[in-house]
Structure 1
Amino acid sequence: MGKKNSKLVRENKSLTSKKWVAASLAGVLWIMPVIGNTGPSLFSVSSASVAQAATASFSVTKLSEEVITSGAMMMKYKFTTVRSGKSVTGLADVVRVDLNNPYVSVDVMTGKGGNLTTRQSTGGMAAETGAVAAVNGDYFNTGGEGAPIGGQVSGGVVVSTPSQLDGMYAFAVTKDRKPVIDEYTFEGMLTAEDGSQFPLSGINKGAYNPEGGSSTYSHANAAYIYTDAWTALERPKNSSTTPTEVLVENDVITQISPDAALPITVPDGAYILRTHGLAAQFVKAHLVVGQKLSSVYTLRSKTTQQELDPSTLQMMIGGHTILVNNGKAATFSRSTTSIGGYRARTALGYSEDGRYVYVIAAEKNSNSAGLSLTELQSFMTNIGVWKGINLDGGGSTTMVDRPLAETSTTLTFNTEYGTEQRSIVNGLGVYTSAPQGEVKGIKISGSSVLLIGQKATYSLKGYDTYYNPIDVAAANPAWSSSGGSVTVNAGEATAVKAGTVNLKATSGSASAETKVTVLGGDDLTSLTSSTTTAPLIAGASVSVPVNAVSKSGATIAVPAASLKWEFIGFKGNVGDGKITVQSVDPGVTTGYAIARYDGFSTAVVFSAAASTAWEDFENVTYPFAFTTNAAGVTGTAAVVPGSAERAGSKVLSLSYDMTACTGKMYAYAQFNGTTGKSIPATATSMSVDVMGDMSLNWLRAEVTDASGATAYIDLAKVIDWNGWKNLNIDLSGSGIKFPASLKRIYVVNVEEGQDERAKTGTVAVDNISFVMPSLSSEAGLPKGTASMSIGAKSMVVNGTKQAIDVAPIVKDGSTYVPIKYVLDAFGGNAIWDQNTKKIMVLRGSKALDLTVNKKEFLLNGKRQSADVAPLILNGRTLVPLRLVTEQLGLTVKWEQKTKTVTIES
């Protein structure tokens, strides 16, 4: 029940009391160059990096707090600040740990199984170790084996030593439960049986560029210990040095490998001494198989010069710059250029009296604007942090916590990549050692939001006097619901109508309530099917999963029971989430399947043709070229033979190298010079196969539309996969005016968070297609011109005058017309619902929902706002002409002198 995995505090019997074991941490830093390369460090150094003054306009409001376990509290905050004259808001989550409480503790979580050179998500490490809350931890080299940059101690055992870098602070808690934040160096010594000695440079370190010393390479002329926590065969990779290695078991040398690595991983309980240069000469001159080798080491504070025995620490985790000191924003201890911008942030700190540890995560997602480091300092001082440091942020920032009465942790908020959690090297976990107590309270667990017709199961869960989960399932609770929006029976609730109810469960003398909201149509901003177009052929069957988005921003899968379907132009049925076309009405080339939910609707357009193949790169007759925005970015763009599952076909390959540049960088694969390739008709969606390179860069397409405007299509906000993957992109709300030209597909490496992404890579694309309903659903629509004059009961269609029974009018500067005559002239039909006073207009690929006296309307299932609303005059419904015609793809011209409206298609 939340106890730590003993793997996390492994003992290394070959080391004496003042010893460290292995390491693992989380983040992103620098790439070690090979000999002959002088590539820049991703952590640039600056001895005069100073924090700006705290933002005077920064304010913090606590939104909520909830106990996680005895001694640990989850607190959510809202922050408000001003950037470039505009007010912005965001959210931050803080786990406050009370070190005066004997049942709660913090410790380091490491990779998989407590090992270095492995990586795992924050949530995965929390689940493995039994943490009740956790955040990501230290920075790490994303191209390395998976070891932390800073030092790491767990249970008094050193897992990784600090790197020789300036201004890198660490957070620690002593075994007498006192928090410490300081900058540390490592000092160690090897002693041979003959008494000869040689300095020990570190334990379980990846290769890096040291700062402030004489060596360019961390492992040159140096000796490092690698324990069994280092599971990788290379110790380390890309070190620019050839090793001499020594296997030590039970303090006795059992193997020596001159000028070559031992071809083994480190055996359990043993360690491998890895040496080079002068250190290797020491090995060859003084170490002998069968003799003993001893080592001692310690930490030393850079600020006080005092030694710190690692065995006195409960834990230590490395970080980056100091942020807060003595309750005020501190001068940054090293350059923060590579970790600037407004990002998700992770930080650690403690209170002035040393009682509370603050585990901090600032959100950057659709609900929160992220923080700069200076703003993070303001946030930390606002909530009571006396001293604090920065941990790895950006895409690595992840927090999980165990809600009250639950048995496992969940994601506290969406990361910069949504619900995806980055695999990292280490994290900080919060643990409980409390015994099981008596039942203190119960709570209802289940969804707080339902849709009409949806069924959901609720359960009763309990927590004890230490706020840890306790089983109350056998109590057989009684359930009830206030109001008529939800019915409930034995914990199964059914949403009946829109509204909010209190769901109540009673078990003996204890009871619990939770609020459940049933969303109605007025609570939604969109209702969309993942399939927007489909073939109009008898027997065709298409999957139509429908999602609703609430006004709060939540996305909800709409259950089949919540939808009512109507078919126009064909007969069909819905079952198992699929629409099957049974027969097509005579003469119909475009049909519609309309899904309705409590007055909110969306449509799937069925037409003679669906997806249109656009480019498969098999027989291209136009050129491709690599271009970039920066002279230092190099690469290639060419059609090449595919490999693996694409063997035997051709693909467009884009390779790039951005290592010589900084700032926002682009690598383009340009189609057909500056002309591009034509997309001939209105496209509602795009499909493309992409071979990803796990670079975490951004993949986009650039289009020039019929008006000459440039539009950008996000193919993937993050390239977070390897191998081939099919991407489907909704273009219905893009605003692109067709016909258009696809000019280029390209990779973007933005400046913010650049230390997290690869600067080299190769992506490939294949099988680009577009769904262009206008090629079929709009092909038969009439073309021409129609004109109407205000107050006249006639209209001229393609030169022929015809009578209309209601004249157009002008009201409050807007022209209103009966929609029937517009559709008669230009195709389409309208459906009128007398009860709801709604008009659904269907034309080509467009489904437009209008409501009398309401300025809001729906276009293809998405709520939008207009300046005017339909109205009823003399029993006839009139619609705003410009709004309707423009949404349906028609153009309108107004002649002021004659008060004449001309519509063209």
Structure 2
Amino acid sequence: MVVKREEAGKRAKIVRMAAGQGKKLILVSLAGLIWIQPMVLMEPFGRTTSTVYAAESQATKLGTEDITSGAKLVKYQYTTTRSGKQVKVLADVIEVDLSNPYVQLDVMTGKGGQVTTRQSVEGMAQETGAVAGVNGDFFATGGQGVPMGAAVSQGTLVTSPAKLQGMFTFGVRSDNTPVIDRYNFTGTVMAEDGSTFPLTGINQESYTTEPDKAYSHVNNMFIYTSAWKSEERPKASGTTPTEVLVQGGVIQQISYQAAIPGQVPSDGYILRAHGQAADFIATHMTVGQRVDASYQLVSQTSGQQLNPSEFKMMIGGHTLLVDGGKASAFTRSTTSISGGSAVARTAVGYSQDGKKVYIITVEKNGSSSGLTLAELQKFMVSIGVWKGVNLDGGGSTTMVTRPLAETEAKLTFTTSNGSAGQRAVANGLGVYTTAPQGALKGLKVSGASTLLIGQTAAYSLKGYDIYYNPVDAAGIQATWKSDNGNVAWTGEGFKGIKAGTSKITAVSGDGKDSMEVTVLGGADLSSLTPVTTFASLEAGVSVSVPVTAKLKNGNTVNVPDESVKWEFTGMKASVQNGVLSVQSVNNGAKVAYATPKYDGFSGTPIVFSASSEQVWENFENATYPVSFTGLPTEAKGTAAIVQGTGEREKSKVLKLDYDLTGGSGNKFAYAQINGTTGKTIPEGATSMAIDVLGDASLNWLRAEFAAADGKSIYVDLARPLDFTGWKTITVDLTASAIKHPAKLKRLYVVNLEEGQDERALTGSVSFDNIRFTAPVTGGDTGMPSATVTMVAGQSSMTVDGKKQTLDVAPLIKDGTTYVPIKYVLDAFGGQAAWNAKAKKITVTRGTTVLELTVGKKEYMLNGAAKQSAVTPIIANNRTLVPLRLVSEQLGINVNWEKKTKTITLQS
């Protein structure tokens, strides 16, 4: 683009903005709500009451983290008095040393360096390679996402300042001196005949000007460059536009009273004119003629004309906050930005000597309550800001920084949006490094901070150089060690050996870093629960037995197989790779238990009991939906519960008709059970039997189960389906190691691409009488019956009329009767295990497993958490349990005779 050159060198040149030419434009944006249409100004502007640093306010430095050579993150806790109460607020400040040759500031703009493309600060930083950044300029949240202030990137004016009062900008000149000032924009367009027309702005959206309250584009001419992404230039400009496309300084196209379709080309710009400006174009411009455009910024403070090329960068802001090391008067009404409310804030300023820039954010989240603008002024003064300006705040306030040894900037703190994450903003202020690769300076160790006994975890190592930039970890050879025997280095990671805390250290040359690793012991657990609750008691049965531990701090962890030891009662079994296999059943045992143990902590046992075949579905009274789906999309068919035919004419069946002639590749016809959800199968099922009406299609017939861990389990029913008529198919489910609770999702036909010409593409199969063999999960399987009588306060009881001595008498406390459970179980069958560390008693009887903890109202019944109004107690060094709670859960009837204080138990 050709422009007129002025002798004073103060007028800027419109430059080419081709995609991929040099560094992408980076626009610093503080994107939030500021009303600009209309804007009510207050004259004079309200002054802050905090013109001095109040004694009751104090900034305490919490820590410093290097980001790169010349930039560091300083974390503060700022204490102030608000409404008569002391408040502590967290602030994060990036200090940039402008005298350091390796650090630079620049504007980050939306996506691809273009306006109207809003993006999160983290997204802009990662796209442009910034090592740190914050949100930047204000923009109308209901508009196209264009900054209100001037944005300069590497000497190029990306957006001109809107004509608004009291809006300051922050910039860095070519000589690396910072400046905060207010600027106007002036420019001229010259036609080939020498006539001129004022140029109002560059890449601006429509707004209401101040103080005249006029529509920005009426009778005015603007330039739009390829930095403007949207095809609308801009929306709602107030009048019908005339547009001129200029490439190489020559008019290529003129569109009268209509916009030129499409985006601005990378090697040109578009003049957009309205009213009188459009008349000027109609009178003085013709396709093929040359046109010149020039512009400048003018300081409102000094009147000095400035070429944008004199600036490395510039970003717009709002009111001035600090001037001369003191809180300044607000230069603009702060009502629209909640100036008097404590919210998240963003600001930028510099030191008195002009060598240090402070990029400031104030947190508003669960750990920090934000600041008012007046409080922000005090904080800025307290940390050394000489002159500072407000940037966009509230939900837009975001800071990202690159942690040591990492390659990308990450969110520094939780934004006030919370779970909503980062807000997409118009631009941001980025920090960049040009430092070369230097020698290794330090290491960063990362990995699991907790281990279980027997668990091995890998730890990663990253490095950073003397300029605090990341070093390729592949070239780092390190030595690993631990300060004690709680963990041991295996050559591939650290293994938990015993409970306690260790400090692990990596050393490479002069680089060294450590981290603490805690090995969790049994005392850290509140429960240890296998996913499987019930299983069939027969030799050869295999079940998946992943174990989950709940810690006392409330967290839940998956326990590695190597960390669990198992205790077996009533059977011989083994566990390998998370699968328990029953080898043999003890003579006479009708119930057996597998109890997980961890460092002396006993978990909930898995109950193994006799199995029986259960009719799961005969389709006579099914109330759930059944539907057909096919793959590929050309696969057609139906699935429905219908009246059977022939020998099944008096019963209902699930019929699957399929037509797989369409599409290509492997083909599937599914009968979906209960929509996409499926229907729950019996716990611990070891086999499934199903009646199938075959069609001799030679396709495969399969079933799909959804396991508790989210995995799909596929089971072959017939491979191939080579029969006609009804046939009962039985399949073993033990090898599938299905994690319960599980569901049967669908029955389906598979037509493989390989050998497809040998299999039928159309056909029909039906299903009936689905049965599962599964353990009995209720009742008192094999448990003896008896009648037991006890009297509160007496150290004896009778069992079927025979008297026995008790070593501790039943007692009544707060209306609840407590008894020693051992004697009850001796009479009615079952056993009890006491965990002294956890003060937990585990009672097993038949297929019931009950866990109770002294002083804890929550108890576990067959792995499910329940609540009780009473808890076990300790009396005379013996543990007593609430009689009615325990007995009724174990299937034992309780009768209480109040007058004689007699307890009668029967089963």
Q: TM-score scaled to structure 1, two decimals?
A: 0.62
What do the CA deviations read for 1:273-293 (whole angstroms, capped 9, x no partner)? Answer: 112222222222222222222
| Residue of structure 2 equivalent to 1:264 | 262
Amino acid at match of 1:268: S
**Residue 62 of structure 1: aligned partner:** 61
Alignment of 1:498-517 (within 5 A): 498-508=499-509, 510-517=510-517
1:222 aligned residue: 220
Between the aligned partners of 2:354 and 2:885, the Cα distance in structure 1 is 63
Counterpart of 1:348 in structure 2 is 348
Task: Indicate whether 1:307 and 2:305 are aligned.
Answer: yes
Q: Please state how far the C-alpha of 1:25 moved relative to its aligned partner.
A: 5.5
* Residues in 2 aligned to 1:476 and 1:835: alpha-carbon distance in whole angstroms: 43
Q: CA deviation at 1:184?
A: 2.6
Where 1:298 maps in the other structure, the secondary structure is strand
Where structure 2 has 5 or more consecutive residues not aligned to the other structure, the ranges are 6-10, 18-24, 583-589, 608-613, 615-623, 625-675, 677-776, 781-789, 798-804, 888-899, 903-907
The one-letter code matched in structure 1 to 2:874 is I
CA distance in 2, matches of 1:85, 1:818: 58
Contact 2:523 2:838 (8 Å CA) reproduced: no
Aligned residue for 1:464? 465
Distance (Å, rounded) in 2 between the aligned partners of 1:395 and 1:347: 14
Q: How does 1:642-657 map to 2 (within 5 A)?
A: none
Report the counterpart of residue 784 of structure 1 in structure 2: none
Pick closer, same or farther for the CA change 1:133–1:378 going to 2, 3 Å.
same
Shift of the 425–14 alpha-carbon distance from structure 1 to 2, 3 Å rule, reads farther
Tell me the CA shift for residue 516 of structure 1. Answer: 2.3
**Alignment check: 8 A CA contact 2:89 2:363 kept:** yes
How has the CA–CA distance of structure 1 residues 519 and 807 changed in structure 2, closer, same or farther, with 3 Å as cutoff? same
Report Cα offsets for 1:619-671 as digits up to 9, x if no partner. Answer: xxxxxxxxxxxxxxxxxxxxxxxxxxxxxxxxxxxxxxxxxxxxxxxxxxxxx
Give the secondary structure class of the aligned counterpart of 2:182: strand
Give the letter for the 2:403 counterpart: P
Displacement after TM superposition at 1:227 (Å): 0.2
- CA–CA distance in structure 1, aligned partners of residues 54 and 870 of structure 2: 42
Partner amino acid for 2:60?
T
Write the letter of the residue equivalent to 2:378.
S
What SS does the aligned partner of 1:290 have?
Answer: coil
Partner of 1:100: 99
Cα displacement (A) at 1:130:
2.0
* Paired residue type of 1:172: G
CA distance in 1, matches of 2:166, 2:580: 62
* Residue of structure 2 aligned with 1:245, choices 235, 243, 246: 243
In the TM superposition, residue 463 of structure 1 has moved relative to its aligned partner by: 3.0
C-alpha separation in 2, matches of 1:864 and 1:55? 55
What residue identity is the alignment partner of 1:365? N
Q: Equivalent residue for 1:179? A: 178
Say yes or no: does 1:437 pair with 2:438. yes
Q: Are the aligned partners of 1:348 and 1:391 in contact in 2 as well (CA < 8 Å)?
A: yes
Aligned position for 1:651: none
The amino acid that maps onto 1:152 is A
Q: 1:281 to 1:73 in 2, by over 3 A?
A: same
Q: 1:433 to 1:320 in 2, by over 3 A?
A: same
- 1:205 corresponding residue in structure 2: 204
**Which residue is 2:838 aligned to?**
836
What secondary structure does 1:159 align onto? Answer: strand
Equivalent in the alignment of 1:761: none
Give the equivalent residue in structure 2 for 1:426.
Answer: 427
C-alpha separation in 1, matches of 2:39 and 2:600: 57
Residue 255 of structure 1 is matched in structure 2 by: 253
Cα pair distance change 1:242/1:376, threshold 3 Å: same
1:375 aligns with 2:359: no
SS at match of 1:163: coil
Task: Determine if contact 1:849/1:857 at 8 Å carries over to the other structure.
Answer: no
Deviations 1:336-384 (A, max 9, x none): 4557644433221212222111122233334433434343333322322
SS in 1 for 2:90: strand
Distance 2:395 2:534 in 1: 41
Q: Residue type of the partner of 2:12?
A: K
Q: Counterpart of 2:418 in 1: which secondary structure? A: coil
Distance 1:486 1:321, change over 3 A: farther
* Matched residue SS, 2:260: coil
Equivalent position of 1:874 in the other structure: 876
- For residues 504-563 of structure 1, the C-alpha deviation after alignment (integer angstroms, 9 at most, x for no partner) is 22334x24131222253699799999x999999999999999797896x99988767667
C-alpha displacement of 1:567: 12
Code of the residue aligned with 2:477 in structure 1: it is N
Q: CA, structure 1 residues 444+205, in 2 after alignment: closer, same or farther (shift >3 Å)?
A: same
**How far apart are 1:565 and its partner, in Å?**
9.6
- CA 236–504 in structure 1, closer or farther in 2 if over 3 Å, else same: same
- Tell me if the contact between 2:792 and 2:809 (Cα under 8 Å) persists in the aligned partners: yes
Paired residue total: 708
Q: What pairs with 1:446-461 in structure 2 (closer than 5 Å)? A: 446-447=446-447, 449-452=449-452, 454-461=455-462
Structure 1 residues 593, 381: closer, same or farther in 2, change over 3 A? farther
2-structure distance, mates of 1:261, 1:298: 26
SS of residue paired to 1:281: helix
Cα pair 2:339 2:372 within 8 Å, conserved: no
Report Cα offsets for 1:75-129 as digits up to 9, x if no partner.
Answer: 2223344555665544322211111112111111122222222233322322222
SS at match of 2:124: helix
The alignment partner of 1:67 has SS state of strand
Aligned positions of 1:520-535 closer than 5 A: 520=520
Aligned to 1:479, what secondary structure does the other structure show?
strand
Counterpart for residue 289 of structure 1 = 287
Amino acid at match of 2:436: P
Q: Which amino acid aligns with 2:835?
A: D
Q: 1:18 aligns with which of 9, 12, 16?
A: 12
1:334 and 2:323 aligned = no
Change (3 A) 1:84 1:808: farther
In structure 2, what is the Cα distance between the partners aligned to 1:835 and 1:272? 79
Q: CA deviation at 1:478?
A: 2.1
The 8 Å contact of residues 486 and 519 in structure 2, kept in 1 or not, is answered as: no
- Shift in alpha-carbon separation, 1:268–1:67, aligned structure 2, 3 A: same
User: Aligned Cα RMSD in Å?
Assistant: 6.2
Q: Which residue of 1 aligns with 2:147?
A: 148
Q: Which of these two proteins has the greater Rg computed from alpha carbons? A: 2
8 Å Cα contact 1:401-1:412 kept in structure 2: yes
Partner Cα distance (1:186, 1:26) in 2: 19
Asked if structure 1 preserves the Cα contact closer than 8 Å seen for 2:596 and 2:602, the reply is no
1:6 alignment partner in structure 2: none
CA contact 2:28–2:134 (8 Å) conserved in 1: no
What is the CA-CA distance between 1:426 and the residue it aligns to? 1.8
Measured at CA, do residues 334 and 472 of structure 1 come closer, stay the same or move farther in structure 2, by a change above 3 Å?
closer
- Secondary structure (helix, strand or coil) at the match of 1:247 reads strand
Q: Matches of 1:829 and 1:207 in 2, distance apart?
A: 81
Q: What is the DSSP-based 3-state SS (H/G/I as helix, E as strand, rest coil) of the residue aligned with 2:277?
A: helix
Give the direction of change, closer, same or farther, for the CA distance of 1:856–1:27 in structure 2 (3 Å limit): farther
**Aligned in 2, Cα 1:388/1:479: closer, same or farther, shift over 3 Å?**
same
CA contact (8 A) 2:26 2:107 kept: no
Q: Does 1:412 align with 2:385?
A: no
AA partner of residue 182 (structure 2)? E
Report the Cα offset of residue 50 of structure 1.
Answer: 4.6
Contact 1:150-1:168 at 8 Å conserved across structures: yes
Q: One-letter code of the match for 1:874?
A: N
Instruction: Point out where structure 1 has 5 or more consecutive residues left out of the alignment.
Output: 1-11, 32-39, 582-587, 609-617, 619-688, 690-776, 781-787, 796-802, 886-897, 901-905
Indicate the residue corresponding to 1:320 in structure 2: 318
Change (3 A) 1:301 1:578: farther
Which residue is equivalent to 2:495? 494
Give how far 1:63 is off.
1.7
Does residue 277 (structure 1) correspond to residue 275 (structure 2)? The answer is: yes
Q: What secondary structure sits across from 2:297 in the alignment?
A: strand
Q: Is the 8 A contact 1:23 1:147 kept in 2?
A: no
The equivalent residue for 2:681 is none
Q: 1:136 to 1:580 in 2, by over 3 A?
A: farther
